[in-house]
Amino acid sequence: MSKAEILAELPKLNAVELREIHDRIFQLEEEGLFHGRAQPSEEEKVMLDREFEDYSRNPDAGSDWKEVQSRVKG
């Protein structure tokens, strides 16, 4: 199926199907970045640089992974 065909079919999908496609695309992007197959966009690089600068100024300001997990799991 071509990209044009895929794009033409998207409006025919319901919200659940569109969410599944969105989630899968996001997963593929994450995997690509993680495995070095893709590069972050310029916007993402700026955001990452800003976050790293914030961390460098105050490394104790954030939460460690266990704290984040406990808050998410409630």
- The full set of domain ranges for the chain reads 3-60
d(CA 74, CA 63): 15
Q: How far, in Å, CA of 65 to CA of 73, rounded?
A: 12
Farthest CA pair distance, the chain: 50
Tell me how far the alpha carbon of residue 36 is from its chain's centroid.
Answer: 15
| pLDDT tens string 13-63 | 999 999 999 999 999 888 887 777 777 889 989 999 999 999 999 988 888
pTM across the whole model: 0.47
DSSP 35: T
